[in-house]
Structure 1
């Protein structure tokens, strides 16, 4: 018996009846964008503490910038920090000025950058289908608004965007600059303005945003979008035409105007220290060599995209094939693409965007999950456009049907993994009770049931051929998963891993004596510097700590003791007699003790312990 597909006539009826009412459409759009962005990036944004190790490095450097008034050179614990340019520090410091020094202020620049990507993507996709309706001499409001809302929902509600949109580091700011720059460039390109003295304002906007990206993370902010745009123009045979139209020389000048003041001043103040550290180590070496042990196999980013853009990532292969074509390099395919109106090149443009970022960072030697964050908006646009034929009279594409069944299999895989995930983990010395509490909470089982239910629901939709609801079902499932599993798990992790450090940092502030030094032994957790507002000395292990105590007893004259913060293992390894230290507090896996100077009564070494 042949099953009939469900007709979404209520959606079509609703859109057709509000089509002439711009106020209702505006309200609908605002509610949707506010809703998904609130859930993804604002809800509980400042309710958990900073997460070691990277986030507090940015947070404390920005705080130092605010209190010292030095807006040129970033510092952390008295040492220059040239990992990234100044824009992220400026934004966080300004947020401190407005909101106070807290977690909200640290993270709000990332959240706003993520929101800008979501809103800009909605606008461009909706504009694309408005132009398509004009070319087709029709008005397909369900497709125009539903695909735009679907695209923005997928871009906002996936693990990669949510993780990096909720931490106070530079990655989302870079993604916002690159993504909005590329989208602005596409709108300028699609308007096909004749060459004039000044480029289309959308091109100028694109260049300004590239400048912001360079001021966020360095040369990659212009190199990456530049390579994508050059490849796109060369493929279409429009390089010379776009050169005259977009005036990239002016664009480079705009980028230089935005960046030159800070780069010149920071170089003038710090000389070769800045040049070697920032350009040499954090840019050239990260691309050509493994930095900080962040190596990974060649297929690393396939896994990052698969799980970082879940649950929608299984639709990406078919979407890429649809807009690139199996015969990508054949003149017949290129001629077909070139014959289209520029506004209809969005799918191809998103392919170059996605593949450009993916290939660039696959070639790079140092690999981190956050590096491919700038391709996530392109992934959402590709899948949104891929599903647009569901709102026409065309039969459902076979590739979409197969992708929908792949979605069922992927959801089942996620469900099985969550139901067994705790068996894969060992103990964590920094949070010894976390996995036990996670198991008792039942959160992983709940997550497994959510994705099992999703798999069954999507399978049913496939059987009744109601493919239009497949992607919305995935978005709804992810929202439920975020609210019922990920958010409670985040609070639990914060309570077990980060809260003890915050508690002992506050205790150190209340107990520390004038000129007394705060020393961390066996680990480096920059949150202690941020929450204690103190410079912290980091020592590698217990033996180094014992040697340091002996050294300080000879060289230090202004203080008679040290405050040591250390894990249980290092505390036991030091084997300090009770009379040689004073316990100040214990929380979780950490001890705070005071060690008196001059030297402890009995000379200890680990070899004798």
Structure 2
């Protein structure tokens, strides 16, 4: 019996590993880099390696103080290991998602002493559509989520420890995780564990645990202080900008970035739960009814709901911010779903299957109608996108079929439901329409004109995201901005960097002398508010939908 259990456990772990390789690792090299996020993190890390400066972050040679350093370190190490590839750019984010899944497996098994529920929790987490989208995309949220989750797991394990030595070790590790979170995304990594842990201590009447706080604080400082002091010595204005602009103004000020209403995250949470949406109510109810697990369930619900409300109250919002809510949700669902399957309560399992079939079917129908030009005023898939459209239909046909099989075989619904996003992940890179590629993925356009751009002494762009993509592909940090500064405004304010930005009038005055030194290329992103109208006449103008290259050849003197 023990041998059979071990074999079954190994099978489950191998299947999870196979899913992670197929859905997460395999596709990440096959997609172009999105602007502005992915190209930004790729270029910051490339410049870090090129310059050898691992203390002060730079973007296009400018100070870039929006985030701390640890995420860039991980991305830079990835590029050192795998080269300047799309795989390297996304690997740190994807690895963080995989390590979070491993943490969920261990913690769920430790909580429930049931490997099947641990496997179910891990399968839920890896197949959540929001987790998958962020975990295969180069942003810092997947990394900081790993450290936030580890911080809270260490807190709960330490809380249950009976021996002082174990408790001290747990709180020390908690501080290390919090420090790494701080080095990845700043003070928010400290605030979230506090707003979860403190109410739970009140609920359990264990406020005396606060006497161990000094251990966590000490290890957190040991991890974070060396870089914090080093960056202050190298760039004294870093902490003022990072604390005031990136935390106070971004989240609570009237001019907060990405402002959205309080209820913004509710549809994000609902959609992010796919392909498990239909089973969530029944699974949570099933878990809540286990009275002996009530303290565990309260902790997991606090871990899920309190950050959700915290980020909902902030004025600045992005879907990625609530990623930490999905780990505790996956653990709760893993327990509840296995209870439902073991008790053969198929009603909610079948409901979930129908929702996945409906979701996949509606998107297949929508893509067919879009492809035939029967809906929508704008052409999404052009006549040249037949293969991409076919693959896009296959993506959601795979989702529909996984839902159908889980309806047909409810006892195997855990595996089948987790496979819903698999085909989508494998084919997404080839299923994007050219209209989207020519709007948010400029690498194709840049690749077509690498020769002209490499031969240019000066390269300009009217869009920060496009400028960063140029820096990444041309492997040069001296890309200049024309008429737009965006997120680089703070770095450009440095008087030593005035030549990095020109408006239309100053560009026209600067150009004749610059052409004596070499070719000048201006790559523009053609969208309302960005299209330049006062550029001097170029020797060559090369348009392609959303991007245009204005090429000025070097002036030769007799």
Alignment TM-score, normalising by the size of structure 1: 0.77
Q: In the TM superposition, what is the alpha-carbon distance from 1:374 to its structure 2 partner?
A: 1.1
- Matched residue of 1:43: which SS? helix
Q: 1:440 to 1:37 in 2, by over 3 A?
A: closer
For residues 201 and 25 of structure 1, the distance between their equivalents in structure 2, rounded to whole angstroms, comes to 33
For residues 168 and 383 of structure 2, the distance between their equivalents in structure 1, rounded to whole angstroms, comes to 55
Aligned residue among 450, 454, 464 for 1:506: 450
Aligned residue among 473, 493, 501 for 1:531: 473
Q: In the TM superposition, what is the alpha-carbon distance from 1:596 to its structure 2 partner?
A: 5.4
Aligned residue among 243, 251, 258 for 1:279: 243
For residues 498 and 533 of structure 1, the distance between their equivalents in structure 2, rounded to whole angstroms, comes to 15
Q: 1:285 to 1:435 in 2, by over 3 A?
A: farther
1:208 and 2:151 equivalent? no
- Where do 5+ consecutive residues of structure 1 fail to align? 1-15, 131-143, 326-335, 599-609
Aligned residue among 298, 311, 317 for 1:367: 317
Q: 1:178 to 1:440 in 2, by over 3 A?
A: closer
Aligned residue among 519, 544, 562 for 2:460: 519
Q: In the TM superposition, what is the alpha-carbon distance from 1:560 to its structure 2 partner?
A: 5.5
Deviation string, structure 1 residues 233-279 (Cα, Å, up to 9, x no partner): 21122222x335xx1221011111111111122122222x3123211
Q: In the TM superposition, what is the alpha-carbon distance from 1:154 to its structure 2 partner?
A: 1.4
Q: Is the 8 A contact 2:26 2:426 kept in 1?
A: no
Q: 1:413 to 1:594 in 2, by over 3 A?
A: closer
User: In structure 2, what is the equivalent of residue 299 of structure 1?
Assistant: 263
Q: In the TM superposition, what is the alpha-carbon distance from 1:84 to its structure 2 partner?
A: 0.7
User: In structure 2, what is the equivalent of residue 310 of structure 1?
Assistant: 274
For residues 449 and 139 of structure 2, the distance between their equivalents in structure 1, rounded to whole angstroms, comes to 22
- Matched residue of 2:29: which SS? coil
- Matched residue of 2:33: which SS? coil
- Where do 5+ consecutive residues of structure 2 fail to align? 485-501
> Structure 2 matches for 1:323-402, cutoff 5 A?
340=292, 345-390=295-340, 396=345, 401-402=347-348
> Structure 2 matches for 1:94-133, cutoff 5 A?
94-130=77-113
Aligned residue among 112, 115, 120 for 1:145: 115
Deviation string, structure 1 residues 136-174 (Cα, Å, up to 9, x no partner): xxxxxxxx3332222111111222222222222211110
Q: Is the 8 A contact 2:524 2:549 kept in 1?
A: yes
Q: In the TM superposition, what is the alpha-carbon distance from 1:425 to its structure 2 partner?
A: 5.7
Q: 1:243 to 1:206 in 2, by over 3 A?
A: same
For residues 364 and 209 of structure 1, the distance between their equivalents in structure 2, rounded to whole angstroms, comes to 24
User: In structure 1, what is the equivalent of residue 492 of structure 2?
Assistant: none
Root mean square deviation, CA, Å: 3.4
Q: Give the greater-gyration-radius structure (CA).
A: 1
Deviation string, structure 1 residues 571-606 (Cα, Å, up to 9, x no partner): 9974879xx4222755564332323588xxxxxxxx
User: In structure 2, what is the equivalent of residue 442 of structure 1?
Assistant: 390
Q: 1:148 to 1:290 in 2, by over 3 A?
A: farther
For residues 317 and 278 of structure 2, the distance between their equivalents in structure 1, rounded to whole angstroms, comes to 22
Aligned residues: 528
Q: 1:388 to 1:572 in 2, by over 3 A?
A: closer
> Structure 2 matches for 1:4-153, cutoff 5 A?
16=1, 18-19=3-4, 22=6, 24=7, 27-130=10-113, 144-153=114-123
> Structure 2 matches for 1:256-267, cutoff 5 A?
256-267=221-232
- Matched residue of 2:423: which SS? helix
Alignment TM-score, normalising by the size of structure 2: 0.84
Q: Is the 8 A contact 1:354 1:379 kept in 2?
A: yes
- Matched residue of 1:299: which SS? helix
For residues 13 and 412 of structure 2, the distance between their equivalents in structure 1, rounded to whole angstroms, comes to 22
Q: 1:591 to 1:346 in 2, by over 3 A?
A: same
Q: 1:566 to 1:313 in 2, by over 3 A?
A: same
Could you tell which deviates more after superposition, 443-452 or 32-41? 443-452
For residues 383 and 309 of structure 2, the distance between their equivalents in structure 1, rounded to whole angstroms, comes to 36
Aligned residue among 407, 419, 428 for 1:476: 419
Q: In the TM superposition, what is the alpha-carbon distance from 1:459 to its structure 2 partner?
A: 4.6
Q: Is the 8 A contact 1:347 1:381 kept in 2?
A: no
Q: 1:487 to 1:452 in 2, by over 3 A?
A: same
User: In structure 2, what is the equivalent of residue 236 of structure 1?
Assistant: 204
Q: In the TM superposition, what is the alpha-carbon distance from 1:280 to its structure 2 partner?
A: 0.7
User: In structure 2, what is the equivalent of residue 270 of structure 1?
Assistant: 235
For residues 521 and 366 of structure 2, the distance between their equivalents in structure 1, rounded to whole angstroms, comes to 42
Q: In the TM superposition, what is the alpha-carbon distance from 1:382 to its structure 2 partner?
A: 1.3
Q: In the TM superposition, what is the alpha-carbon distance from 1:295 to its structure 2 partner?
A: 1.9
Q: 1:31 to 1:362 in 2, by over 3 A?
A: same
